[in-house]
Amino acid sequence: MDNQKPQELRDEELVALCQQGQGQYFDFLVRKYMEKAFRIAFDFTRDKEEAKDLSQEAFLRAFSRIKQFDGRSSFYTWFYRLVVNLCLDYARRKGRVRWQSLDTIVEENPERAELADSRSAPEGQAMAGEAKRRAQSTLKSMPDRQRTAFLLRNHQGLPIADIAKVMKTTEATVRVYLHRAVAALRQSLLEFV
């Protein structure tokens, strides 16, 4: 480790240095994961300031608990578990998760609009609007664990194995959550297919 630059060190090496009292190495972990932590928090809150606060709180908790990290999972998994738990606590305190309007997603990602663009016919536009409302309603009504698995898989692109570690469950259980979430969305949109 002595000959390597800090940014070349693996997460486990950086954590070990932090656990030995060299907290300045935690900055490299922050830089590595700050964007991903913000994205997860933003997916839950849909509010930039709340997402910043939650991701900062996750780093503060990780730093204060770094000595408790035992290496049974990767730092990445341990840290994401902290982020997700903070987000779930936030959602419970607020009583709901604010979901971004699908209209906003299309506005921010015009390349996705090609599939949803039905503006050529008023009737198609009305159907698309109703489909969006139903999808949003279904997402809002999902149990926390299903919604979390769905978010981590579809918004963050995490593999099932990592989602299982973050959620402290088995891969089979994550697959069940994902299956149920997709089935609920499919059922709510059945008449639009």
Task: Please report whether residue 156 resides in a domain.
Answer: yes
* Percentage with pLDDT > 70 across the chain: 80
Question: Could you tell me which residue, 88 or 49, shows the higher pLDDT?
Answer: 49
Task: Please report whether residue 1 resides in a domain.
Answer: no
Task: Please report whether residue 2 resides in a domain.
Answer: no
Predicted confidence at residue 193, as pLDDT, reads: 61
Among 97, 130, 151, residue at a domain's last position: 97
Say which residues have a Cβ less than 8 Å from residue 176's Cβ, sequence separation at least 6: none
Say which residues have a Cβ less than 8 Å from residue 124's Cβ, sequence separation at least 6: 118
Note the pLDDT tens digit of each residue in 141-158: 888 888 888 888 887 788
Predicted confidence at residue 105, as pLDDT, reads: 46
Q: Please determine, for residue 173, whether its predicted confidence score (pLDDT) is greater than 60.
A: yes
Among 65, 97, 129, residue at a domain's last position: 97
CATH number for position 182: 1.10.10.10
Q: Please determine, for residue 112, whether its predicted confidence score (pLDDT) is greater than 50.
A: no
Q: In terms of residue numbers, what domain contains 50?
A: 9-97
How far apart are the two ends of the chain, measured CA to CA in Å? 57
Note the pLDDT tens digit of each residue in 28-78: 999 999 999 999 898 888 889 999 999 999 999 999 999 999 888 889 889
If you average pLDDT over residues 175-189, what whole number do you get? Answer: 87
Q: Are residues 137 and 101 in contact, defined by beta-carbon separation less than 8 angstroms?
A: no
Task: Please report whether residue 4 resides in a domain.
Answer: no
